Chains A and B, each alone.
Chain A
């Protein structure tokens, strides 16, 4: 998660999260592919304009999810309900209803991904957690644990590679087949989890030693306020949704 300097990145993270979840709820209500396609255009448009996510970056991030669009559509088209058969091939039975449903839900999934991308690309994790604590009353105990844990995320990747390398160096034999795969996953996961627990304990001790008790009896150095920008963002989203509604009516 990083932050671009734009209107969307200055919207209060909790409010942004809430608004995006509502937009997703509206997507669930939409039942035909055309409406969903228009609704999908909203987060894409917002990402490229008011959120100022560079087109190239957006495309790079969204490209892998086209696979998801394809598999979802495929699954519903090939195994969906429906009576009007368009084409039959082996056990796949494509129907008109299936295709329409498939496209609808494929687009919906893409829209979910786009809202997620719009959120993660414009939100700083620290700000998000602080805002959840200040506006949504997330207990500090949980909030600070999350903050610490998020910092460790990049390290886990490294550690995973280390565990793998350590096994290879010691010549741990790789067993072929499914059994081997299961063994390998356990072999890599357990050390990773054990290391994680040790790290977590050290962090907890360090915080508690400095007087952190997880109570609400605290002040904040950084506050994440609610500003007029949140209102503007709400209005933009509302206008666009009304626009779509008028368009398909």
Chain B
């Protein structure tokens, strides 16, 4: 009865705080992000580098300075893993948010307005789904940006490769979200509370924003978290094909690619980035689960 003054977001946070698995996953994820984005300080602390090669110390064993040893070019594996995580984790976040946003807009528009708009948008979605993803990815990743009017300097910087991947994965990744949101919207629009809002004179915008999207938030969150894992994996595939993140910069995917030549001699070099991807993706999915129940007022146990 004291809940009168509590806002929706406070309630959601309280529900999330009761979900220990989600909290643990959130802590893991937070730690991963924090570690990765303080990589340069950690490098200074240990006096190692994850970027510069040192051919005198190739395949160093694990010791106090090199927590995970060093790789085939003498770079410290632990800090290199953190450097790779910066790229993988942030690409995962941006591209997943980007594709969710695009997918939600397209799916909600198609599901709400139906008819011709729905037809056009969904055929476009089918078209995007039918595109063979990998060849398209390779072509887009190999496009010469200078021909599109970008400056030479920008194209050569690491930033261009990074944002190029975010954009490509967003453009190709929104279809699942769009279909999920459309399906949710189609069923929500038939519900009586939507009819009630329209009978009161609510605009389409209001109905979508206040009634449809908040009720579709569960599939959106689930799809976003799944996308995040998927994006990290797609980035790995691109890097594997040599069109992703270019050295000296790195990502978990490109580290995995490097390691496969060394599977026989140094299998651990593949285990580290593989484990990092695994931990990140699982933690993301658990957080997604937790958010899903936290956003559902009916999940409240009273």
Chain A complexes with chain B = no
B-side interface residues toward A, CB under 8 Å?
none
